[in-house]
Amino acid sequence: MSACGQIVSGELHYPRIPPEYWRDRLRMARAMGLNAISTYVFWNRHEPEPGRFDFTGENDIASFIRIAQEEDLRVILRPGPYVCAEWDFGGLPAWLLRDGSIPIRSTHEKFMTPVRSWLARLGETLAPLQQARGGPIIAVQLENEYGAFASDRAYLLALRAALTDAGFGESPLFTIDQPGDLAAGSLDDVPIAVTFAPGNPAHIFERLHALRPDAPLLTGEYWAGWFDHWGEYREPLDRTVQEHDLECMLARGASVNVYMFHGGTNFGFWNGANSDREHPYQPTTTSYDYEAALDEAGRPTPKYYAFRYVIERATKTAARPVPPSPRTIDVAEFELADAAPFSAVLREPFLRETPEPMEAFGQGFGFIVYRAVLAGPVDGLLRVTGLRDFAVVLVDGVRTGILERRTSTTQIRIASSQDRPVVELLVENCGRINYGPDLPYERKGIDGSVLLDGAELRGWEIFPVPLDDLRALPFCAGAAAPPAFYRGTFALRETGDTFFETVGFGKGVLWINGHNAGRFWNIGPQRALYVPGVWLHPGSNEAIVLDLLGESEIRRLRGVSRGSH
């Protein structure tokens, strides 16, 4: 990147932004004074099944990059194949897990064969957009914070060869790591970029120069914000510190990538999760607002104007006028008067002696139901090993309680006087871990056993429930006990972006006019889901809510214009 002069970049991710808004967001980036943008490439979005590639619509990354060039922005490409990004499985496709854990991010052919195939296909689409061929791509990242995972240089060499074979050898490559991992995740002849939080960039650069005395100063990610986990609250970062850091980095001639310039939204089921010794499982919220300079709805924040001023002074270049903010609207409260039981989405089951995870059935996302019929009345302790990630337990169709990986709640007492009681576990995949040593083991559903008073239950009906099409749901007027779907309509005279408040619901998913707006959960911190105006239309619109836990019989929604939390 040093050959391109000083780069002042911002991170934003095409699948976290509706395609209709790509140009608006990129234009806002240029108006803040950025001369480049950086984006990951999300392998699991583009190859949902082995050999089936999708570069259309929301996945049309080539269009995204061309629009960046039209808006006078260069592009830093980060193809992974692992990207972290608080994204499901760190961007790796779930089908890698069908046969159990595999040696990901290694030279093992079970991993590298599909990686080479993927990068070859990506090269067909994006290699022509490199700067050497007249395009805006000025640099390509080699892996992503690999030093935090391993230190196998043979793997990095194999991946570099795969990128070169795919046509990306015309762009400079670089590795990227946190300060303590720079040596482990790098190659001697490949430039290093460093990632870090606000506070002391001079000290970070000292650590970089201790390893590479003559290396250019490359800040691959300056974390100007952070993400949220469900059930956890955090203090926002000090904007004054960030302004000072950015000023210092630019004054030293460093190239900087602000992570994130615009976070966007984890629409659908694409959020990731984290895990450490203290927290076995930390799912990321739907909002990826990230305290970014441009908020979740694409509106400039005080940080945007502060950074714009710093960049304008440092580069001695007058900033472009800031475009108008996107239109936001309120949606009057309306009732979800129709209901359908969750059982309505169950289709023909698979029969198995023991539970199997959803990947074994070719399912990547959504829910899965495990049903067993017991031999007689029951009053005992039900325990699940390998729960991934949240389960509603039903006995004879009645909700008995929940099990939860996040809180290590793995057992519950169940009882029934029926001769052949039916036990069901409705399990939600809440997002695969995207960072750390647990990454290779993220099969979803039940990846273990179900025991009743210590004895393993056998003989299961298993129902995959991907929830990728709700059109056949048999809604009827009236109530239904959760878990259930609820439907309502609302009328609009004009459209705009809005945030649907979910404070009256428990845990579940919201769809607007067939678009999956993401997950909600009453444990917070997120209390409303962003819905882009391009999903709405004048006249009647439809909202469907899946609620696993809600207690109220009256279910209402409304949209507010003010914000996401």
Q: Identity (one letter) of the amino acid at 460? A: W
170 is catalytic: no
From 11, 47, 86, 145, the catalytic residue: 145
| DSSP letter, residue 312 | H
CA 508 to chain centre: 17
Of 81, 88, 117, which is closest to residue 443 (Cα–Cα)?
88
Of 310, 306, 309, which is closest to residue 292 (Cα–Cα)?
306
By CB neighbour count within 10 A (0-12 exposed, 13-18 middle, 19+ buried), where does 146 fall? buried
Identify the sign of the CA torsion 301, 306, 309, 315: negative
* DSSP track, 3-29: GG---EEEE--GGGS-GGGHHHHHHHH
Identify the sign of the CA torsion 100, 446, 365, 564: negative
49 is catalytic: no
From 221, 291, 356, 501, the catalytic residue: 221
Give the span between the Cα atoms of 331 and 174, in whole angstroms: 47
Q: Which residue has the tokens 């004009």?
A: 494
- Dihedral (C-alpha) 67, 125, 269, 95: value to the nearest 10 degrees? -170
Q: Which residue has the tokens 């698979």?
A: 350
3-state percent helix, strand, coil for the chain, nearest multiple of 5: 25, 30, 45
Element (H, E) at 444: none
Instruction: Return all residues near 187 (Cβ < 8 A) that are at least 6 apart.
Output: 142, 153, 156, 157, 160, 175
Give the span between the Cα atoms of 383 and 33, in whole angstroms: 56
For β-strands 282-283 and 273-274, DSSP reports them as antiparallel
- Are 146 and 176 contacting, i.e. CB atoms less than 8 angstroms apart? no
Q: Which residues are catalytic?
A: 145, 221
